[in-house]
Structure 1
Amino acid sequence: MSWRKLDDDGKDLCRSLDHILDGVQALKDSIRRGDRLDDRGEMKVDFKDIWCPELFANGRSLTDAPLDVQETRASLRRMKDAKNTLSSLLESIDETIKNVASVTAIDFRAAGLASLPDDVLAIIFEMCVDMNPSKYSGNDYTVRYSTRISSVCQRFRQLALQLPDLWKSVSLSFPDAMLFLYKERCPSPVVYMNHRLPRSFEFSKMLDVVHPSHQWRELHLRFWDGDHVQQCLEGLYTVVGQTPFTALEYLSICDNLTIDGDFLDEDSDQWTSIYLPGGQSPTISSWQMPKLTRLKLRNILSHPPLHCENVTWFCFELCNVEESLRLEVLQKQLQSMPKLQTLSVTISLACPFDSIESSHINHSPLTPSLTNLELKIGEDTPDLMISQILALVNTKQLIRFKLSLEGRLWKDTQFDEWVNAIFPRTAKAFANVKHFTLDATHNRGSYNSYDRIFTSLPNAQEVSLILPHHAEIGLGGNLVKRGAFRHLRSLIIEVVHIDTGSGPLEIGVGRMALNTLIKRLHREGSEGLEVRNRTSYSMSEGKANLQKLLGEKLRWIDYGSD
């Protein structure tokens, strides 16, 4: 802190402080008399009387006779010294505020949490555990938020012990002592079993440390090669047998079809089929899961299909598969889900399914209750496979459709082939879709393909697009004339920067002119247009044009280069 050195013994500094105190006291007296610091009211503080009363004593004003020069110079000096002193005092206050805030920050946060009622704290604790991104991956059990929470203080511990959901997720890779602890605290666990399961693990003793399978609410089996799938399913069957999973609500079986050198020899005879082993498949398919509503299968299929009569959400992923794919197996799995409402399909491989023999073709709708479809297409996926997948789905009753195309930047013909397979010209496959999302980040696309997409969605009300900055897209009047965007209420366009050397996609001008949609976006009840610019370009011309046309109906966000 830089105090002004007025003299060696501090007399000048003390006089400056006295001057400040006298001024503050005079200000206090003035306010008590009813004078105001602001412009409200007739009586205002006269600051000349506060800081230099000796110059204007006895009602003297600036229009009177000239002031004494020496006296005025001394008064100015006192006021300047007072100002410097006040500046130093303000700096000292700022520095003290920072120091006190730094020292007491933890105490303030603790006091804030301590003031929260138990029900609010319980919600925070459960959210903390559920949002943990590294939850029970591999054999790493060092990050245990529930244990950390219960170790903060006595109140947190007492509350944590009353919340079974804080202790619901258990991995069979945990030490026995920890499994015993979680077993005592949560009667209906979420069980994780993965490729890190020790080879020495004894399934026969599993129920000593984990609740019986009829109490499990979720079961997640995650592997990196088929050998572990077979090993774990066989071991699990020795414990579970034919016991119904009466409480199971969510089942996921995921196999990444890669080989972990830490667990397998190079000469090992790996089983890497996406079909469950023949000896175990009937066993898995015989599991009774009456409360199962969510199912996820990654590179896994069962024939006969799993019991899924009450499943409403199904996630199916096929990635990096190199064997013959039987469409009939997937067809029968979908047939077993009459209540399916949401279907998420991810495919990223180079070969289509084997065709179904005519005797096995089922012409009845396989998904009579489906309303939500999420389709993710990875690069090199043939358009035939996409057509085969969609042939199993009743798309005419879809309300929400989310499409992600992860192609290669300069492979525009692939994008066109995918669009042709998804949006046939002859059938009104998506006539009832009201909410549509397209992620085409890595696809330049073409005018014809985007034209085909939008004219296939005549009743879309909310449209969200994620596009590269060099996308070949137009939203001109011809689309509207052909029936696109008739009921449009909300349009979100997110522009992402891709290293291509091409110029920016100027939204609002040129090839992305939105003039023909403005009336629809500006009408009463419409949410308008939102543009998210994630490029390094300003797009200022388009932004200015749209602000003139849409006014408050435009929301423009410039993120810059993230």
Structure 2
Amino acid sequence: MPVLTIETDTLHVLATAVALLQQNGVSKYDANALWSMTDVPGVSIPINSEHTPSFIIRSAQTAIHQLEAVQRALHLLECSSKERLRAVKAHLRPYLRTYGINSLPDDVLATIFEILRAEDDSLVPAFSQVCQRFRDLSLGLPLLWSSISLAMPSCWIDLLLERSENVGLSIDMEGIDQPGTMNTFLSQLVPHAGRWRHVKNLGARNMLYLEKLNKKLREQWGALHLPALQSFELDIDKFENPRAAVDFYETWHMPKLRHLSTSRHIPPPHTFPNFRTLTSFSFHQEYGTDMLNLANFLGSLDNLTDLNLELDIYNNNSWQIAETELPSLRNLKLSVWGPVELRFVTDTMRMPVLKCLSLQMTLSPEECILLLASIASRTVEELNIIQYYGSGHGRLETSALFKYFPCLKRFTVDAPDTYLSFEGILELPPLRTVRLSAIPEMDAALRIAQLRKLLGAQGKWKEFEVLEICEGDWLTREQAEKVFSKEKLRWIGRAKM
């Protein structure tokens, strides 16, 4: 029987390359036809005497269709490669004439590949499609192949599991409620649970999928042991039944977990000991959250250094909770809709070593200043404020912020009512960078001139690095550069704030 054989590795290259073009929006060609051929050792046309003519014709037609798929892929890749090559040559032409280009050593090139490959990147690596040298290097770097998405075809997942060898896996669970995806998860990924390092987007539009998933895990494994898992993103904001969320906290054993991201449903008290390894916690609070349980959970995290809270409290009394000590917290990112949410933090949390405070809020300036006064700190070195329009009047005066946070080094304010003032400030903080979205005052140039004068008079000018500011109605570049060193001025647009 004559056999036309196409090596499986060649088909892998073709299918992966076409998939990359799909991801980049270059082509709508379906690579699944190529992937389906990788499980077959060769394309064959049987002509043995025991086969009927109709069977031989059907086999020949199948082989022709497969070869046509390969031919279309090759043509597509050839056109795309030529176009990209022309663009690269045009871009490099002036540099080649001026500087010349030397080839990087393999070890340096491999390091660049690993740096460029983000841990949470669920796209197929493109390095292996550039040239034979890049392909050889890429196949020798298991880390490049360690990001998996459940949206990938199962043959991709098998290939990535093989090429990533024994390194930790980053898994995107989005779409686990799609038909057949849960079976793929259970059959292909659960056996590799010991390699899971990062899991994100575990959620579903229909809660029944996740309840079914936990049921299957309990039936097959009793509990899912994840000895290498470091970060876990549980998208449970759609869960109406807290029991479904509790199932995850009880079923998934994560002894080395460092980061947890979740919403609404906090782990129940009897599971708190399972999370004491956390150093980072992100929580989006919605209606129905037990705020007392949230405070108690935070209080149990002795190693917590990074906290991201999005709060929207409906009950005005829900923040009246005993003090919560956060002895290791250094970075707090807080998004609030009103004073009640901010008081939950200012009135209940004690953060003795806090270094960076980032606040996004919908408050009036006077409410903001009043509440920030209650968490005044000599340890905070970075303060970032984004204020949306709130009710009330007043101005967000920098003098008050400098007073409450006297050790500031990095200071950013994006607020419509910012007022650069220094009244009552005997000593400026040791400022390094100041970033303002605007100074909406007629005397804006005078204000930054005053800042320049104070920095010089107090011996802080040499250490000061940059003032970043928007050019506006009350301040032009020419005015600013006359009163402030041009070398330490940087102009920004509001879109970059």
TM-score, normalised on structure 2? 0.69
- CA positional deviation for 1:242: 2.2
| Contact persistence 2:218–2:251 (CA under 8 A) | no
- CA positional deviation for 1:210: 5.6
Q: What's the CA shift string for 1:354-380, capped at 9, x where partnerless?
A: 6379xxx654x5311112212223xxx
Label 1:447 to 1:522 Cα distance change in 2 as closer, same or farther (>3 A): farther
- CA positional deviation for 1:101: 9.4
- CA positional deviation for 1:512: 8.9
Q: Which residue does 1:120 correspond to in 2?
A: 108
Q: Which residue does 2:455 correspond to in 1?
A: 518
Q: Which residue does 1:327 correspond to in 2?
A: 291
Within 2, Cα distance between the matches of 1:300 and 1:218? 21
Within 2, Cα distance between the matches of 1:247 and 1:164? 17
2:355 paired with 1:402? no
Amino acid at match of 1:555: L
TM-score, normalised on structure 1? 0.61
Q: Which residue does 2:385 correspond to in 1?
A: 438
Q: Which residue does 1:174 correspond to in 2?
A: 152
Q: Which residue does 1:367 correspond to in 2?
A: 326
Cα RMSD between the aligned structures? Answer: 3.9
| Contact persistence 2:298–2:326 (CA under 8 A) | yes
Aligned ranges for residues 506-545 of structure 1 at < 5 Å?
507-509=444-446, 513-514=450-451, 517-519=454-456, 523=460, 525-533=462-470, 535=472, 539-540=476-477, 542-545=479-482
Amino acid at match of 1:435: E
Q: What's the CA shift string for 1:35-83, capped at 9, x where partnerless?
A: xxxxxxxxxxxxxxxxxxxxxxxxxxxxxxxxxxxxxxxxxxxxxxxxx
Within 1, Cα distance between the matches of 2:483 and 2:189? 63
Amino acid at match of 1:397: V
Q: Which residue does 2:349 correspond to in 1?
A: 393
Match of 1:129 among 105, 117, 121: 117
Match of 1:453 among 387, 394, 401: 401
Q: Which residue does 1:254 correspond to in 2?
A: 235
2:411 paired with 1:492? no
| Contact persistence 1:340–1:369 (CA under 8 A) | yes
Q: Percent identity?
A: 19
| Contact persistence 2:119–2:147 (CA under 8 A) | no
Amino acid at match of 1:314: F
Q: Which residue does 1:241 correspond to in 2?
A: 222
- CA positional deviation for 1:324: 2.8
Label 1:241 to 1:152 Cα distance change in 2 as closer, same or farther (>3 A): farther
Unaligned runs of 5+ in 1: 1-99, 137-143, 258-271, 408-412, 498-502
Within 2, Cα distance between the matches of 1:354 and 1:170? 44
| Contact persistence 1:440–1:466 (CA under 8 A) | yes
Within 2, Cα distance between the matches of 1:202 and 1:103? 42
Within 1, Cα distance between the matches of 2:112 and 2:212? 38
Within 2, Cα distance between the matches of 1:509 and 1:488? 21
2:253 paired with 1:288? yes
Greater alpha carbon shift after TM alignment, 509-518 vs 393-402: 509-518
Within 2, Cα distance between the matches of 1:505 and 1:493? 19
Pairs aligned (count) = 403
2:338 paired with 1:382? yes
Q: What's the CA shift string for 1:480-519, capped at 9, x where partnerless?
A: 13x6x3x32324133259xxxxx66653326995366333
Q: What's the CA shift string for 1:407-429, capped at 9, x where partnerless?
A: 3xxxxx634324423432xxx64
Q: What's the CA shift string for 1:250-303, capped at 9, x where partnerless?
A: 11112454xxxxxxxxxxxxxx43xx6326515524643222112222344222
Label 1:191 to 1:343 Cα distance change in 2 as closer, same or farther (>3 A): same
| Contact persistence 2:397–2:421 (CA under 8 A) | no
Within 1, Cα distance between the matches of 2:443 and 2:132? 59
Amino acid at match of 1:340: L
SS across alignment from 2:277: coil
SS across alignment from 1:130: coil
Q: Which residue does 2:138 correspond to in 1?
A: 160
Within 1, Cα distance between the matches of 2:399 and 2:198? 44
Label 1:226 to 1:284 Cα distance change in 2 as closer, same or farther (>3 A): farther
Amino acid at match of 1:389: V
- CA positional deviation for 1:537: 6.6
Within 1, Cα distance between the matches of 2:219 and 2:171? 17
Match of 1:278 among 239, 243, 252: 243
Label 1:356 to 1:283 Cα distance change in 2 as closer, same or farther (>3 A): same
- CA positional deviation for 1:337: 1.4
2:199 paired with 1:219? yes
Moved over 6 A (4+): 100-103, 106-114
SS across alignment from 2:455: helix
